[in-house]
Structure 1
Amino acid sequence: MTKNDYIEKITQNLEHLTKDELKDVSILTTAQLVVRSKFAERQQLEHEITNLTPKLKQQALPVVPECVAEWIEILKTKGLKPLKNPETYGKTGFTEEKLQNIVFWISEYQEDYMRAWLDGYTVEKPQLFYLREKNTNYYLNKSKNNGLELVPNPYFDEDNQFTKQEIGSMQTGSYEQIEVAE
């Protein structure tokens, strides 16, 4: 059946309808057009969502310091809310300095903190250094008895790497910091 055949058949059927019935047909036709339009809109939105979902998943997770990661895990384990203030929370095993670092980081990076809470996070890797004594070119290594020793041929392993925080707590005036390559 061609398009004209359909139009003729519909016209014949409409001739037998009363004025009120024609009004109802008009209302139903308009409603059907609205439903079809909404359905097409929905399909378009579903298509856009399908296309955006992988892109959103590809966004990198926020990078948080280790102490903030610990804080998030403590709160989640205890079923607490993400905005609990570390300074007012009881015993956590954190030092005062660590709590201040957590508070500072959260206040400075609120959006990253909330994304980390909701979506997950990556723990920041601290920058590591080897320490070489400037005058002798000997390296500072950690000894087996938890002390430090200068050695001419260092063991370049993770046990002999120092963080900025560790270096800051030591007297390293005559030591050169050599960045550990990834």
Structure 2
Amino acid sequence: MTKFEEKLEKLPIKTIQHPVGDTKYYTAVHVKTLIAQADEEIVNLKSRLQQQSLPVVPECVAGAIESIPDHYSAFEAIDLIKSKVEVFTEENKDWLQVYNWLCEGIDNQDTFALAFITRKYTVEKPQLFYLKNKLTGAYLYYDEATKLYSDIVGNVEDFFGTKTKFTQQEIDSMKLGAMNRLRWRNEIRCKSI
């Protein structure tokens, strides 16, 4: 029984006898009061619902949500992501980040489900860093054409085909030569952007 039905039962009832059968009437004033209370409760619940913050997802997850059709359930969407990564690995390398994020824990899966179902979410902006060698003053950059890391003194603006800003995850997974890795690990000062 709902709250509304419970309150309705507690209202004074007036019985009118009729040859066909008795009819029960609620006093109009009490019913109007009950309806007004219900309306207030609805407004209160709506405002609380609107105050809840939107789920925060990484950019790759936001892209996945946008690319999966609306008619999929959250379970089907997660299963699709899993299938893309496990069955067609080479063709779906970009889905691996989404899959790994989902595998980090049930909180991420819940966040994904909520964002997918409501299609309302906030995209997490990753914190980016410049990497600077303290001794030489050179900044590290990645040349996408040669797939090599190098250093540049002076202007750290992005040049065509180079990358000068890195996420913490990229920094942790950098594959530098043994000497470079040792030098950069010992001498780098990360500067947040």
- Confirm whether residue 44 of structure 1 aligns to residue 25 of structure 2: no
**What residue is the counterpart of 1:138 in the other structure?**
138
User: What letter is aligned with 1:76?
Assistant: P
**What residue is the counterpart of 1:125 in the other structure?**
125
- TM-score calculated relative to the size of structure 1: 0.65
d(CA) in 1 for partners of 2:117 and 2:54? 10
d(CA) in 1 for partners of 2:64 and 2:152? 38
Match of 2:62 among 66, 69, 75: 69
d(CA) in 1 for partners of 2:33 and 2:109? 39
Q: Identify, as 1 or 2, the structure richer in helix.
A: 1
**What residue is the counterpart of 1:168 in the other structure?**
172
**What residue is the counterpart of 1:151 in the other structure?**
152
Give a deviation string over 1:51-107, Cα, whole Å, max 9, x none. 342342232211012232222223235x32211222224657235742541431463
What secondary structure does 1:109 align onto? Answer: helix
**What residue is the counterpart of 1:32 in the other structure?**
26
d(CA) in 2 for partners of 1:144 and 1:100? 25
**What residue is the counterpart of 2:4 in the other structure?**
none
Q: How many residues align?
A: 155
**What residue is the counterpart of 1:98 in the other structure?**
97
- Confirm whether residue 83 of structure 1 aligns to residue 87 of structure 2: no
Higher mean alpha-carbon deviation, 119-128 vs 168-177, is at 168-177
> Radius of gyration: which is bigger?
1
8 Å CA contact retained: 1:75, 1:82: no
Distance 1:96 1:155, change over 3 A: closer
Distance 1:93 1:22, change over 3 A: closer
What secondary structure does 2:26 align onto? Answer: helix
d(CA) in 2 for partners of 1:111 and 1:66? 17
d(CA) in 2 for partners of 1:133 and 1:110? 39
Higher mean alpha-carbon deviation, 83-92 vs 115-124, is at 83-92
d(CA) in 2 for partners of 1:22 and 1:122? 59
Give a deviation string over 1:23-46, Cα, whole Å, max 9, x none. 45xx65x5132x643442222121
Identity, % of aligned pairs? 29
What secondary structure does 2:151 align onto? Answer: strand
Question: Considering only aligned residues, what root-mean-square deviation do their CA atoms show, in Å?
Answer: 3.4
Q: Identify, as 1 or 2, the structure richer in strand.
A: 2
8 Å CA contact retained: 1:141, 1:154: no
8 Å CA contact retained: 1:106, 1:113: no
